[in-house]
Structure 1
């Protein structure tokens, strides 16, 4: 019996190795629903395909390929109409939630229009979508068969939010387009050794916390289910720390404290186009039996407005970004098909990184299966640090929460500078007025002396102090608003 079970296990492993991972037949998280503006369409890429997200009249988010069947104008430059249709703003063709064209205003008459609308070529290309745990998921294949296949699989959700909702506390979602590939993102989060070094000052100390540990395989490599590793030894207050890769896009990092509480980092990365990926992530804090909640990750576990968490995320993400962007370009320049031949990994801390690269090479075709109509070439290395560390394009312009916060900060900045000018002018007027009164009440013989020795009243000093405080506040708000556009980082200056 044992021999038969062993043989069956070997046969299953052989079948899995022969079956390559199907990149297009998967659910991918593409956006946080609460961060999307429902009044307009949103352009995005998925596996090299140009797609557009929009919300229909029933309140459901839809995904079309981003071109109008008429003359291939981008639907993302169109409009979401009050009747719940998506209009191409080039010739006003309109599409319903199923992708069917419902209006061609240039038609000769209703009969002709109906004939044109019944033609399958007038339809938009539709991808299956669903909302789950606050994320918008898109199935990466279109068509009738894709609709059926997508219903047979569930997205890589966070089970604690589904099963232990009374004990699980989810912190805010973060989303960011990153200028390096999906594989380098997954490689990076498979590597705990970099954390205290790369994130020195935020999470750990590069001089004190870069220590030896081993990574023990918890779950064997599987084409569909990925693999997981446990870190040994862990920190003194941690009972167990497990990294769990769930293809195509999810890395779960679960740290279980000795008191039974858990910190879960749910990290998603969606391959958008070569050299880029979209990261979506959050922290989940799971209380222990006594109701005690664990600490979050550094400052990001503190209570704060969502927009502030998004702004501060640059402090963390950009510390890795500068490495991963250039790493990818260096590897691409070497044109080495075998990752292991290009690197030197003598320590056990790299076991999970190696396992990930083995999964990609042996189980998933060696690279992402980009859309055949798109280029698979990597973009050039970005030498302009302001462009490399851009925040506006990679986040703010796509996040309704941050756009609203930025508008409010800009209003406060104008108010602060205006109030500073008003206070300063008021101080000058009050000072001049008090001086004039003093002079008027002084005898002619004392005029010159009084003019030089008059001390402004307290209200004048309060006005000038107010001007200084408002001006300082305006300056700080201006500095804060810059973080919505760019945040440059240099490790050489991170002491």
Structure 2
């Protein structure tokens, strides 16, 4: 069976178009605009290049190479000034949204400063940007060529979000830097067979739901447009069909259509940042059936909740396959060829096989990293792999705001508990002194102590919730 699923598909993959997939002249989603703090620059990596995101005086987000043209100090360590320019904190050079240098403070005279600023070498290297569907997109090619070509291609936006249909409900965006490569992200989300096993307890049951199904190809492989596969359903299933649609360079769109015509659409973006890492941005879209009924979402993540709570609870899902994807990538790096190293006898692997063939035969074998392409060694400290602070919280102003409020709530709960406890003891002591009864404890005293204990428990619960902003540890061996 292995030969059927590899050789037959591989012969089609060999019939590649005349041009390989081009990684640089593409739009990549890099941030959720509403989560960014516009008062400061944000460092980012795209295809191995160090860039900086910042908002200028015209309220437009810009992307520069993260190096001041003066002495190559990182612009991300600078400031966004009140006049909407980006200041390099090393020598005070400033830049406008177009990349032109607007100030060189150490110049001998205004005339000489103007002369130096007019030199093209004083300009920051900029990349085209645009905002679409709440996301900030960056074109990975700079210069005049990038400026022209970026206008001739649209990003991989979601058609269902373009209209204003009352049937379409978009849930919150989530964003996370993941410690495994772009290709392993795409391979993972092209593989529905792992879901009830890896995500046991959240989405499915490893003992009940790991069943046979086929994955028929629904859209033929294309160098520039990707491919799609379906998932066959059991008779009597409430699901009519499932479509996994890979659209390079960044989108896996998974559409589940139910028999009542409602739909669940998973929008899964991944942007290659640096070797061994990618940035994931995703959301759920619920499409009501003609009678106005919402379909079920992905686990409890479709329930109404504040955006910040959805962000930290996402760790419960993302961490269930994060560790072994990180190690899997390192193990595979020691092999000569993915297609020769794996054993894939079941049809559930059809789409992952096709993805690897597309990558090998039509996309140059992988991401063409700028700078070093070396995969960093495996991280042996699992707690670092399960880090949430550096991979999300530190750059999300929604979560930063919620964290501050939760800290105040924790302090308030503990403080109020202590105050009530002190008051309870003082009042009870006074009552004993007045009545002389030392053997009985008043109901008021018990009530106050109970309230104090309740507030203490509340504070501890908030403390535990705060911990999810920093790290969420998970072990499959403990997930019964």
Q: Same fold (TM over 0.5)?
A: yes
Residue 289 of structure 1: how far off its partner (Å)? 2.3
Corresponding residue for residue 41 of structure 1: 41
Q: CA RMSD in A?
A: 1.3
Tell me whether 1:422 sits opposite 2:419 in the alignment.
Answer: yes
For 2:291 and 2:61, locate their aligned partners in 1 and report how far apart those are by CA, in whole Å: 40
Q: How does 1:406-417 map to 2 (within 5 A)?
A: 406-417=403-414
Corresponding residue for residue 8 of structure 1: none
Q: How does 1:141-220 map to 2 (within 5 A)?
A: 141-163=141-163, 165-220=165-220
Secondary structure of 2:58's counterpart equals: coil
Corresponding residue for residue 461 of structure 1: 446
For 2:314 and 2:246, locate their aligned partners in 1 and report how far apart those are by CA, in whole Å: 22
May I ask how many residue pairs the two structures share in their alignment?
468
Corresponding residue for residue 302 of structure 2: 301
Higher relative contact order (CA 8 A, sep 6+): 2
For 1:335 and 1:239, locate their aligned partners in 2 and report how far apart those are by CA, in whole Å: 39
Residue 237 of structure 1: how far off its partner (Å)? 0.5
Larger Rg: 1
Residue 459 of structure 1: how far off its partner (Å)? 2.0
Corresponding residue for residue 387 of structure 1: 384
Secondary structure of 2:260's counterpart equals: coil
Secondary structure of 1:124's counterpart equals: coil
Corresponding residue for residue 341 of structure 1: 340
Deviations 1:115-157 (A, max 9, x none): 1100111000000000000000000010011010000000000
For 2:165 and 2:394, locate their aligned partners in 1 and report how far apart those are by CA, in whole Å: 32
For 2:354 and 2:211, locate their aligned partners in 1 and report how far apart those are by CA, in whole Å: 21
Deviations 1:405-428 (A, max 9, x none): 011000100001101110111111
For 1:167 and 1:123, locate their aligned partners in 2 and report how far apart those are by CA, in whole Å: 47
Corresponding residue for residue 70 of structure 1: 70
TM value normalised by structure 2 = 0.96
Moved over 6 A (4+): 12-15
| Contact map agreement 1:127 1:140 (CA 8 A) in 2 | yes
| Contact map agreement 1:75 1:87 (CA 8 A) in 2 | yes
For 1:223 and 1:184, locate their aligned partners in 2 and report how far apart those are by CA, in whole Å: 19
Secondary structure of 1:489's counterpart equals: coil
Do the aligned partners of residues 92 and 313 (structure 1) sit closer, same or farther apart at CA in structure 2, a change above 3 Å counting?
A: same
Secondary structure of 2:463's counterpart equals: helix
Residue 319 of structure 1: how far off its partner (Å)? 0.3
For 1:462 and 1:346, locate their aligned partners in 2 and report how far apart those are by CA, in whole Å: 65
Structure 2, unmatched stretches of 5+, are 1-11
| Contact map agreement 1:41 1:52 (CA 8 A) in 2 | yes
Corresponding residue for residue 7 of structure 2: none
For 2:174 and 2:460, locate their aligned partners in 1 and report how far apart those are by CA, in whole Å: 27
TM value normalised by structure 1 = 0.93
Corresponding residue for residue 275 of structure 2: 274
Deviations 1:151-202 (A, max 9, x none): 0000000000114533211000000000000000000000000000000000
Q: How does 1:187-266 map to 2 (within 5 A)?
A: 187-233=187-233, 236-266=237-267
